[in-house]
Amino acid sequence: MTTVVLMGPPGAGKGTHAELLAGKLGVPVVSTGDIFRAQVAAGTELGRTAQGYLDAGEYVPDEVTNAMVCDRLAADDARPGFLLDGYPRTLDQAAVLDKLLTDQGRVLDAAVVLLVDQEDLVRRLLHRAKIEHRSDDTEDVIRRRLQVYADQTVPLVSLYGERDLLHEVDGTGDVAEVRERILAVACAIQP
Ligand code: ADP
């Protein structure tokens, strides 16, 4: 039973490395960003609620996000554990996750954070915008997403640091280099 959260600012590479890390740990990836985008694409009620927030670079309200994640984590495939990609991002979400784990007699094993400096992030996201056409990859929205991360999520990274759960990974360099660092962290989490 392994429960890990993968954190990092927009563009740090969470989506690129989540499957590798999860595969090593033997757990599924639960990506809140992917779930929201799928709901938007499917035109569900949740998608309609989320879309405005995604397009503006704002976080979807905690009660909406928390309910969605609790629902997803109740599925059978999450029984051996899970890698959360992009959740929690606020202190309130972290409290909900702690409670969910406590209720199941579990603890959070690790918080992996990918570190990349700000201008590099903007460059990567603008480059991705040309390829993927995500509605939130315009320069204004990118800067807003980075600000929201700094305001709402960095305090949570500090909290996990105080709880001795943090594994910092240098997210700069090419994908292969970061992969090696992620593999080393996977071994440290689950020797
Ligand atoms: P990125 O980290 O590059 O911004 P994600 O795909 O992880 O990309 O998230 C895209 C968007 O989905 C966020 O900007 C936000 O609107 C929404 N979102 C994802 N995860 C959360 C969360 N835990 N809480 C609130 N909103 C979220």
Specify the pLDDT at position 134.
Answer: 83
pLDDT tens, 56-98? Answer: 999 999 999 999 999 999 999 999 999 999 999 999 999 999 9
**Ligand 1 contact via 153 beta carbon (within 6 Å):** no
Catalytic hit among 24, 134, 143, 179: 134
Specify the pLDDT at position 72.
Answer: 96
pLDDT tens, 127-169? Answer: 988 898 888 888 999 999 999 999 999 999 999 999 999 999 9
Q: What DSSP letter does each residue of the chain carry, written as one string?
A: -EEEEEE--TTSSHHHHHHHHHHHHT--EEEHHHHHHHHHHHT-HHHHHHHHHHHHTPPPPHHHHHHHHHHHHTSGGGTTEEEEES---SHHHHHHHHHHHHHTT----EEEEEE--HHHHHHHHHHHHHHH--TT-SHHHHHHHHHHIIIIIHHHHHHHHHTT-EEEEE--S-HHHHHHHHHHHHHHH--
Specify the pLDDT at position 84.
Answer: 98
pLDDT tens, 106-134? Answer: 999 999 999 999 999 999 999 988 898 88
Active site residue 145: yes
Domain around 150: 2-189
Number of domains in the chain: 1
Ligand 1 pocket mutation pick from 136, 143, 149, 154 by most atoms within 8 angstroms of CB: 136
Catalytic hit among 24, 79, 145, 163: 145
CATH code for position 87: 3.40.50.300
Region 37-41 average pLDDT:
96
pLDDT tens, 6-35? Answer: 999 999 999 999 999 999 999 999 999 999
Confidence of residue 190 (pLDDT cuts 50, 70, 90): confident
